Amino acid sequence: MELKRRDSIEQAKQYMLLATELLKENELACDPNNYAVAYEIVKGNNSTLASTYDKFKKTGRKIDNYCLEQWSQEFMSAEIPSENNLLSGLDKVLVELKKHVSGAGGSVEGYLQKLDTSMSMLNKTDDGISPNKVIKSVVKATHQVKTEQVQLKSQLDASQSEAQLLRQELNKLQREAVTDALTGLANRRGLEQYLQSLDDGSQLSLMVLDIDHFKGFNDTFGHLIGDVVLAKVADQVNKCRPKGSTAVRFGGEEFILITTNEDVDALQNLAETVRTKVESMKLINGKTKQRLPTITVSLGIAVQQKGEVFEQLLSRADNALYQAKDAGRNRVQLAV
């Protein structure tokens, strides 16, 4: 077994200072998960994490707890029952099926040989061979094959059930890998998958929205109610999204909706629909039965320009979002 090389005391001290400074710059708590991801970022050995962090920095945005949580799961988590494990399980089921079918083939072949022999014996009954004896032999062989075929059917049914369960588990893992657990929307990996699935000629339309004053709401009512609000807002976004588009939880309280080939007017109408739907939500504190404050969102929208990559489109929409917030929040702002 290969031993994992550990950092020296001096190296660890240096990475600790850089990691805590990174968290401080982004106004994040130095909790175990945040610190572990920040430590890996400044250390630089995890190339995929480092590349993702560099791309995110270029957007000019601050990382948040949700970012670090996603990166921890995507780039640092220990292996769980994975796609490879399940595919290995399916391979085993197929091997067992092959064994069962091969065995059945042998028993049928033996039966046919026995039948041929018996037919030959019946043709030679003049040689003193009793027909009853031949018939009993055929009946016995028939019962044996029937028993083996019943066993084969049972084995095939069991193998088929096992294979179906493995496929279901594989599909579940694949869905979970691209889905945000709290809101049911796509996560960052799901966003990448969606972008990769698009035709090169598709023109993207992007809506970025952020829940107004959400930090203060969380501080007042607690994270459990905050999570309910996140899920409710996500539900409104998901209900409004056009066919063929995708909605993503992109940050702690930030969501994006991506669609294709929507003109500016259609995108503005869509964003305004989302804004009004969220504002009209009536939420009740389940514990106190009191009505919660009205939830509003600010939105930035942008249509992809010729030669513009997704990161540039996102940056423009994000700038429009901050303009909407600076202008008083609860409004839609079109990117320039």
CA distance 262 to 207: 11
Tokens representing residue 77 in the block: 């988590």
Exposure of 259 by Cβ count < 10 A (0-12 exposed, 13-18 middle, 19+ buried)? buried
Please list, in sequence order, all residues whose beta carbon lies within 8 angstroms of the beta carbon of residue 283, skipping any fewer than 6 positions away: 228, 229, 232, 291, 292, 295
Q: Which residues are catalytic?
A: 253
| Residue type present at position 108 | V
Spell out the long-range contacts of 202-205 with Cβ–Cβ below 8 A and sequence spacing 24 or more.
202/260, 202/261, 203/260, 203/261, 203/303, 203/304, 204/258, 204/259, 204/260, 204/303, 204/304, 204/310, 204/313, 205/258, 205/259, 205/260, 205/261, 205/262, 205/266, 205/267, 205/301, 205/302, 205/303, 205/304
